Structure 1
Amino acid sequence: MNIEHLKLFVRLAATNNISQAGAELGLSPAVSSAHISKLENSLGVRLVHRSTRKVSLTEEGQAFLPHAEEVLSSVDAARAAVGAGKASPSGTLRVTAPASFGRMHLVPALKGFQEKYPDLSIDLRLTDTIIDMVEGGFDIAIRDSALKDSSLIARNLAPDRRIICASPEYLEKHGAPQTPDDLYQHNCVHLVGLDSWTFDTPNGHKVIKAQGKLRTDHGEAVRDACASGMGITLCATWIVYEHLKRGEIVPVLTDYPLVSDAAIWAVYPSSRLLAPKVRAFIDYFAEYYGNPPYWDQDLENKDL
């Protein structure tokens, strides 16, 4: 049984398109079709239904798929084990991440990562849309929201600390809120889908529905609007830490911390064996971010 044929079959199962699956592996449509036929002949069963536009797995193909995925994971692990662990991860690592976090905290670290693993190529896609990892053929997704897909495994890379903040200009003009309820008297800038802010108060949790004249779907836009004096906002420290250092944004309501279990997660498809390239990425970035992460280290001695 040919390993390359198995790789093509697994990608075909995700894309339902022989040409697309082959193109991802550098194969022509004719060669891709021939590879699938050879795999079927070696097994003595038909694995896919072919049509003019797409293919789908037969019942036998569906049964064979998890075994093919397990074989490929085993091969990756076996190759890494050769030479008592001296083998370096190789191939292409496909990663997707939120646009702002990826630009600020993935891209600057990639040079060091690739210097450590020179045989690895990175295919990085930055998008704020939650995509289907399997269908997209991604090895890792960086996410800052709770894991909802039980077929995936998540590794905590770093905490995702949130604070309420404003610019000195805004506070000088409008005053600082003293309690969460005071926010109803202020203009709040908020991220779409994140307008309910929960505070820990002496009387229990208090939920404030943020109200204001600006909301947007981009975290950096929220931060920049806050820095320009447009209102009070909720921000993750990883996106605002440099502005806090420079004093362009300051924390407010520090006596009422936000209630949040948010974190930065590395998510990957469930498997009994973790591919060496995935493990290398997760271990590298967990160490790179640190504990506490570098964006929080200068804030530890401040009243946040």
Structure 2
Amino acid sequence: MQCFVRSAEAGSFSEAARRLGMTSAAVGKNVARLEAGLGVRLFQRSTRSLTLTEAGESFLHEVRDSLVSIQAAVDNLASAGGQPAGVLKVSMGTGFGRTYMVPLLAPFLAKYPAISPDWHFDNRQVDLIAQGFDAALGGGFELPPGVVARQLAPAHRVLLAAPDYFKGKKMPTSPTDLDALDGIFIRSPQTGRVRTWPLRNRANQQVPVTLRVRMTMSDPEAACEIAQMGLGIALVSMPNALPFMLNKSLIRVLPDWYVDGGSLSLYFAAQKLLPAKTRVFVDYVVEHFREHDLARRFSAF
């Protein structure tokens, strides 16, 4: 059943096999056994494509949610000595994960030793359900069907520069002064484009970011490191900006202005019976954010 659902989501046996850690032949044989047992063809196969039949579409609609619940029940039943157990597959941004999540690993595993972390550090949004992730951390993601978000903190972005960048230059006092300065922009890993963000202030006035595009980067931590060299002004999220601001290698430009990127959230499957390993991870992260006041620290105000 799992081979069928993952093959339908992926559109190929080979991609489903990669996600399941199986061979393509094994996935194909499992789907063939399911079809034989049901007495119907679920897929139309060709050398180039794998598409669902009408019966396959109907069957997928009926079984997908049930499969998730069954997997959660199996995971919970298999927990070691009544403790949460199993592989915990989580996606998170590279810089954010290394700075804020990796330090949680030792105390988390001390409390839940039967959980085996499988953490993926990537700035791209993942398909939580289709790619088999238990959870993902990020901001500004579209919420797909079957996924819920637990808000952790605001996803604010701020303008940063090295103090030396303004030697021989006028420090901007309003957004209209930015058009004479160099910008270090972040390229979206999803679209490959530089997103046009509006700046806003406490009065909710909005103005465009008019920095000259001096360079673009795909990683916010790299943008901050380049800004340290005095090469321009970076627009990055507060979690990425905070370490550089604390060590005073970067300062905020126009501190009364920021970009509102929505919320930094923890994403996981929307199901009544959440696997114990996922439930305790969600609770642990939420409690950590509360104890360390990260929602306030990540705010641009």
- TM-score tier after normalising by the smaller chain length: 0.7 to 0.9
Amino acid at match of 1:155: R
- Whether contact under 8 Å (1:141, 1:266) holds in the other structure is yes
Q: How does 1:17-36 map to 2 (within 5 A)?
A: 17-18=12-13, 21-22=16-17, 24-25=19-20, 27=22, 31-36=26-31
SS in 2 for 1:160: strand
Q: 1:236 is aligned with what amino acid? A: S
Q: Which is further off, 89-98 or 243-252? A: 89-98
Tell me which of 162, 175, 191 is aligned to 1:180: 175
* Cα 1:90/1:127, change in 2 over 3 Å: same
Is the CA contact (8 Å cut-off) linking 2:161 and 2:234 kept in structure 1?
Answer: yes
Cα contact 1:11–1:137 (8 A) shared by 2: no
Q: Partners in 2 of 1:200 and 1:19 — Cα distance?
A: 50
- Matching of residues 226-241 of structure 1 within 5 Å: 226-241=227-242
CA 53–272 in structure 1, closer or farther in 2 if over 3 Å, else same: farther
**Partner residue of 1:3?**
none
Q: 2:38 aligns with which of 15, 40, 43?
A: 43
Gapped regions of structure 1 (runs ≥ 5): 1-5
Alpha carbons of structure 1 residues 41 and 287: separation in structure 2 relative to 1, 3 Å: same
Q: What is the match of residue 101 of structure 1?
A: 96
> 1:143 corresponds to which residue?
138
The whole-number CA distance in structure 2 between the counterparts of 1:94 and 1:235 is 27
Give me the identity figure in percent.
Answer: 28
Question: Partner letter of residue 199 of structure 1?
Answer: R
What amino acid does structure 2 have at the position aligned with 1:233?
A
Distance verdict in 2 for CA 1:10–1:93, change over 3 Å: farther
Query: SS at the partner of 1:190?
Result: strand
Residues 119-149 of structure 1 deviation map (CA, whole Å, 9 limit, x = unaligned): 3333333223334334433333322214253
* Gap change, CA 1:273 and 1:58, over 3 Å in 2: farther
For 1:11, the aligned partner's letter is R
Task: Give the drift of 1:219.
Answer: 0.7
Identify if the C-alpha distance between structure 1 residues 295 and 244 changes in structure 2 by more than 3 Å, giving closer, same or farther.
farther
The residue aligned with 1:277 is 277
Change in 2 beyond 3 A, CA 1:32/1:185: closer
Partner AA of 2:278 in structure 1: V
Give distance in 1, aligned partners of 2:160 and 2:6. Answer: 46
Distance 1:8 1:93, change over 3 A: farther
Aligned to 1:15: 10
Change (3 A) 1:166 1:155: same
The 3 A distance-change label for structure 1 pair 57 and 270 is farther
C-alpha spacing 1:293/1:44, structure 2 compared with 1 (3 Å): farther
**More divergent stretch after superposition (25-34 vs 161-170):** 25-34
1:178 positional shift: 1.3
**How far 1:238 moved relative to its partner?**
0.9
Q: 1:154 to 1:166 in 2, by over 3 A?
A: same
* Contact 1:237–1:296 (CA under 8 A) maintained in structure 2: no
Whether contact under 8 Å (2:181, 2:211) holds in the other structure is: no
Q: Is the contact between residue 172 and residue 178 of structure 2 (CA under 8 Å) also seen in structure 1?
A: yes
Q: Secondary structure at the match of 1:260?
A: strand
Specify the code of the residue in structure 2 equivalent to 1:147: E
Structure 2 counterpart of 1:243: 244
- Measured at CA, do residues 248 and 26 of structure 1 come closer, stay the same or move farther in structure 2, by a change above 3 Å? closer
Partners of 1:238 and 1:295 within 8 A in 2? no
Which residue matches 2:266?
Answer: 266
| Paired residue secondary structure (1:75) | helix
Q: Against the structure 1 CA distance between its residues 27 and 80, is the aligned structure 2 distance closer, same or farther, given a 3 Å change threshold?
A: closer
Deviation of residue 72 (structure 1)?
A: 3.0
- Give the secondary structure class of the aligned counterpart of 1:290: helix
Deviations 1:139-196 (A, max 9, x none): 3332221425345322213222322222222234424211121222323322232453
Structure 2, unaligned runs of 5 or more:
188-193
Distance in 1 (CA, whole Å) between partners of 2:26 and 2:163 is 64
Q: Runs (4+) of structure 1 moved beyond 6 Å?
A: 80-83
Deviations along 1:58-102, whole A, 9 cap, x unmatched?
Answer: 32222222443333333345457769xx83333333322233223
Secondary structure of 1:46's aligned partner? coil
Distance 1:27 1:247 in 2: 49
| RMSD, matched Cα | 3.5
Return closer, same or farther for 1:67/1:271 CA change in 2, 3 Å cut-off: farther
**TM-aligned CA deviation for residue 243 of structure 1:** 1.7
Q: How far apart, in 1, do the equivalents of 2:48 and 2:29 lie?
A: 17
State the 1:202 CA deviation: 5.8
Match of 2:199 in 1: 198
Residue 226 (structure 1) shift? 1.6
- Secondary structure at the aligned position of 1:262 is classed as strand
TM-score (norm 2): 0.79
